[in-house]
């Protein structure tokens, strides 16, 4: 393993826009931030503030770019270009700030090539999904193809995890979705992993929900003993079933 490990990190930013004159308030300014989030440049749930600066009205968008490449390239995204064209505005400022950010342990993989990947739920991190098997950095969403279905599976697993954690209606249903290898959620996740694997020509292991009542000593697919990964999580894997946990 002589390869250099390079990491990149999320970058909080403040972007300001003048609001067009004529009072057309800007529900549709939200399309910029949701478009950037959809395309994987920023994390979901950015904050938008409106304010009056002198005689001009402005919007402030406080968001977090997923890494330095996203910060460099966001203005070239289709949603940003369409937005600037239709509103005839340019961003006033775009700076990273020392904002508190709950993503300090999120790293972007910058490895030159990949031997294998994990498809993993990370319900507490700002973004989940494809993880490099070598450095465990994530592959940012803008590097993924929509047809692989990673984003829609990721959205579903977050909602299911949320239902489970609320310990209310649907809790036991959600737990079965997370726990059972053949549940709709896990079947979809394994299908997504197969699609990514076919597209990239490398194995993609699907990471299962960690049992809360004790570690799995056998692979839930083939019942054979797993291999240790050397990481705290996923700690074990089965290469023949393409599962990890």
State the residues that interact with Zn ion by CB under 5 A.
Answer: 109, 111, 132, 134-135, 137, 219, 221-222, 238, 241
Nearer to Zn ion, 148 or 245 (CB): 245
Nearer to Zn ion, 135 or 192 (CB): 135
CB of 134 to Zn ion, least distance (A): 5
Number of residues written out for the chain: 245
CB of 6 to Zn ion, least distance (A): 8
Nearer to Zn ion, 76 or 112 (CB): 112
Nearer to Zn ion, 87 or 237 (CB): 237
Provide the 3-class DSSP secondary structure of residue 142: helix
Nearer to Zn ion, 63 or 132 (CB): 132
The torsion angles phi and psi of 219, rounded to 5 degrees, stand at -65, 130
CB of 76 to Zn ion, least distance (A): 25
Q: Give a three-class secondary structure readout of 149-160.
A: CHHHHHHHHHHH
Beta strands in 2-82, from DSSP E residues, in sequence order: 7-8, 11-18, 47-53, 56-65
Nearer to Zn ion, 134 or 176 (CB): 134
CB of 109 to Zn ion, least distance (A): 3
Question: Given CA atoms 173, 178, 180, 186 in this order, what sign does their dihedral have?
Answer: positive
CB of 111 to Zn ion, least distance (A): 3
β-strand partners of 52: 57
Closest by CA position to 238, among listed 118, 115, 114: 118
Query: Following CA atoms 123, 129, 132, 133 in sequence, which dihedral angle do they give, to the nearest 10 degrees?
Result: 70
CB of 142 to Zn ion, least distance (A): 16
Contact 7, 107 (CB under 8 A): yes
């Amino acid at each position: 393993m002589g390869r250099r490990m390079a990491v990149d990190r999320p970058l909080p930013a403040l972007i300001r826009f003048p609001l067009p004159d004529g009072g057309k308030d800007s529900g549709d300014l939200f399309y910029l931030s949701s478009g950037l989030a959809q395309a994987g440049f920023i994390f979901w749930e950015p904050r938008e503030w409106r304010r009056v600066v002198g005689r001009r009205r402005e919007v402030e968008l406080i968001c977090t770019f997923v890494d330095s490449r996203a910060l460099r390239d966001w203005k070239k995204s289709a949603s940003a270009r369409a937005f600037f064209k239709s509103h005839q505005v340019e961003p006033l400022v775009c700076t990273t700030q020392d904002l508190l950010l709950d993503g300090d342990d999120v790293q972007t993989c910058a490895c030159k090539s990949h031997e294998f990947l994990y498809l993993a739920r990370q319900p507490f991190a700002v973004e989940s999904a494809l993880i490099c098997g070598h450095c465990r950095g994530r592959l940012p969403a803008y590097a993924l193809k929509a047809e692989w279905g990673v984003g829609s599976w990721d959205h579903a697993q977050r909602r299911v995890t949320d239902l489970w954690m609320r310990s209310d209606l649907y809790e036991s249903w959600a737990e079965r979705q997370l726990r059972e290898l053949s549940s709709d959620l896990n079947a979809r996740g394994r299908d997504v992993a197969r699609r990514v694997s076919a597209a990239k020509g490398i194995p993609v292991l699907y990471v299962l929900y960690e049992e809360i009542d004790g570690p799995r000593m056998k692979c839930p697919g083939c019942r054979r003993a797993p291999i240790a990964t050397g990481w705290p999580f996923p700690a074990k894997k089965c290469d023949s079933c393409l599962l990890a946990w």
